[in-house]
Amino acid sequence: MNYLDGNAAAGELTRIFAVDITSAEGQCANCGARKRFAEAHLYVDCPGLVARCALCGHVLLRLAKVEQRVFLDLRGMTHLIFDTTQQQELSG
Amino acid sequence: MWRTATVVGMQYETATARTITLAVRDWPGHVAGQHVDVRLTAPDGYSAVRSYSIASAPSSDRRIQITVERLPNGEVSPYLTQEVMVGDELELRGPIGGWFVWLSDQTEPIQLVAGGSGIVPLMAMIRSRASAGSAAAFRLLYSVREPEAVFYRDELAALSNQGNSVAVTYAYTRVTPRDWPRPAGRIDAALIATGTWPSSLRPTSYVCGPTSLVEHASDLLIAAGHDRERIRTERFGATGEQKRVQV
């Protein structure tokens, strides 16, 4: 199935996160790979958005809206690391 | 989080692509490579959101430009390329994304690889380099169907014909200009060897376009010795469409 980069989820994720999560480094809970979230494979031909690890394919994040409630499933990442200097630069 | 943007200018880049200049009253500024989400809402409440890369360099005038390619079955692009008029208002979310960006304090060599309308965020980087007076060494490899489909042709020609220039290499995939030395065809290893920075310079590469181009060009760069960690990618959908990314 075709996919995009994690970058493409940035807009929808601003609904939830105050800072840009796509430039944060996340660790895959399955294979342990540490990569920027933007480098994940993003599947959009499904209800909501699904991000998978670019190396092992494990589901990192699911975001879906059911009626008026947004569900966020982050079980596939053990942690996220944010670079605060870059966040300041990007916010202009 | 949705901002109101007013259309203040439009110009065609090709027969099917149009650059739209938007004035955004509370625009906080952006960096090259970021995108915006545009939301259109029909009278019955149905709404559609699409992502478009920002084409313009960061500036303080609270204006941005996006370049939109018309897609035959698109929900949003036909409106933006054919119907919208100066003075109309759009809903816009952004600036978005902090990974596929070039910051003017980056000094390493930069390799840009564009496929079709994937040129748009890379053009923002080229314009940002110029407006910031950066001396970072830029090269652009631009894969495009035919000469008539090239965006920003005159500006790219001007930028590549002056000192401190951006070297531009075109790869025509269907139709070439007359007497073009290379037959029409997709990017290959020979073109990577002659049209991009050698891996020994350790450039950061930005590759943007349809998924097939992004995969193919990234594989060729890696085969030429580039470090996967230094290649940043932004894929469009299989049809060249910026996909629905709304939940």
CATH code where residue B124 lies: 3.40.50.80
Q: Is the C-alpha dihedral spanning B238, B115, B102, B17 positive or negative?
A: negative
Nearest to B241 by CA among B81, B73, B18: B73
Give B 139-198 residues with CB within 8 A of chain A. none
Q: Both B137 and B189 in a single domain?
A: yes
ipTM: 0.80
Quote the minimal CA–CA distance from A84 to chain B in Å: 12
Q: Both B115 and B199 in a single domain?
A: yes
Residue of A nearest to B92 (CA): A11
What's the structural domain count of chain B? 2
Q: Both B141 and B228 in a single domain?
A: yes
Identify the domain containing residue B88 by its residue range: 3-96
pLDDT in tens, chain B (247 residues): 899 999 999 999 999 999 999 999 999 999 999 999 999 998 898 888 889 999 999 999 999 999 999 988 888 899 999 999 999 999 999 999 999 999 999 999 999 999 999 999 999 999 999 999 999 999 999 999 999 999 999 999 988 777 668 999 999 999 999 999 999 999 999 999 999 999 999 999 999 999 899 999 999 999 999 999 999 999 985 444 455 566 6
Quote the minimal CA–CA distance from B182 to chain A in Å: 31
CA dist., res. B103 & res. B228, Å (int): 20
Q: E strand or H helix at A81, and its extent?
A: strand A77-81
Q: Which of B99, B120, B228, B244 to mutate to test the interface with A (most CBs of A within 10 A)?
A: B99
Judged by a CB distance cut-off of 8 A, whether residue B228 touches chain A is no
